[in-house]
Structure 1
Amino acid sequence: MKRHALKTAFPYTLPVLMGYLFLGIAFGVLLNSKGFNTAWAFVMSLLIYAGSMQFVAINLLVSPFQLAAAFFITLMVNARHLFYGLSMLDRFKASGRLKPYMMFSLTDETFSLLSSVKAPDNVNPKWFMFFIALLNQGYWIAGSLIGNIAGSLISFNSTGIDFAMTALFIVIFVEQWEQAKNHVPAILGIVITALCLILFGADRFILFAMAGILVSLSLLRGKLHVKESE
Structure 2
Amino acid sequence: MSTKQKALKSAFPHTIPVLTGYLVLGTAFGILMNSKGYSSVWVVLVSLFIYAGSMQFVAVSLIAAGFHPFYTCLMTLMVNARHLFYGISMLSKFKGMKKKKPYLMFGLTDETFSILCSAQPPEGVDRGWFMLFITLLNHIYWITGSLIGSVVGGLITFNTKGIDFVLTALFVVIFIDQWKSAKNHIPVLIGVGSSMLCRLLFGADSFIIPSMLLILLLVTVLQKKIQGRNLI
Band of TM-score, shorter chain: 0.7 to 0.9
1:183-213 alpha-carbon deviations (Å, 9 max, x no partner): 4433433333333334443333333333343
* Cα distance per residue 1:127-184 (max 9 Å; x no partner): 3322221111100100111111122122122111111111222233344445555444
User: What's 1:206 paired with?
Assistant: 208
Cα distance change, pair 125–163 in 1 and its aligned pair in 2 (3 A): same
Among 77, 88, 91, the alignment partner of 1:86 is: 88
My pick for the range that moved more, 66-75 or 41-50, is 66-75
Helix, strand or coil: the match of 2:65? Answer: coil
Secondary structure, counterpart of 2:197 in structure 1: helix
The equivalent position to 1:48 in structure 2, one of 44, 47, 50, is 50
Counterpart in the other structure of 1:35:
37
CA contact (8 A) 2:104 2:132 kept: yes
In terms of mean alpha carbon deviation, does 195-204 or 216-225 score higher? Answer: 216-225
- In 2, the alpha carbon distance for the partners of 1:152 and 1:77 equals 29
| More off after superposition, 1-10 vs 117-126 | 117-126
SS of the residue 1:62 aligns to: helix
CA contact (8 A) 1:118 1:125 kept: no
Aligned to 1:74: 76
C-alpha RMSD over aligned residues: 2.7
Structure 2 residue identity aligned to 1:118: A
Identity %: 55
Counterpart position of 2:119: 118
Q: Which runs of 5+ in 1 are unaligned?
A: none
Identify the range of structure 1 (125-134 vs 177-186) with the bigger mean alpha-carbon deviation: 177-186
Contact 1:53 1:74 in 2 (8 A): yes
Distance 1:121 1:41, change over 3 A: same
Aligned residue number for residue 167 of structure 2: 165
In structure 1, the partner of 2:105 is 103
Compared CA separation, residues 172 and 108, structure 1 to 2 (3 A)? farther
For 2:157, give the aligned amino acid: S
What is the aligned counterpart of 1:62 among 42, 53, 64?
64
Aligned to 1:25: 27
CA distance in 2, matches of 1:10, 1:175: 25
Question: Separation in 1 of the partners of 2:94 and 2:229?
Answer: 26
Q: CA deviation at 1:37?
A: 1.1
Against the structure 1 CA distance between its residues 2 and 170, is the aligned structure 2 distance closer, same or farther, given a 3 Å change threshold? farther
Secondary structure of the structure 1 residue equivalent to 2:120: coil
**C-alpha separation in 2, matches of 1:37 and 1:198:** 37
Mapped to 1, the partners of 2:4 and 2:220 lie a distance apart of 38
Q: CA deviation at 1:7?
A: 1.8
Please tell me whether the aligned partners of residues 79 and 207 of structure 1 are also in contact (alpha carbons under 8 angstroms). no
Corresponding residue for 1:195? 197
After the TM superposition, which of the residue ranges 99-108 and 37-46 deviates more from structure 2? 99-108
| Displaced runs of 4 or more, over 6 A | none
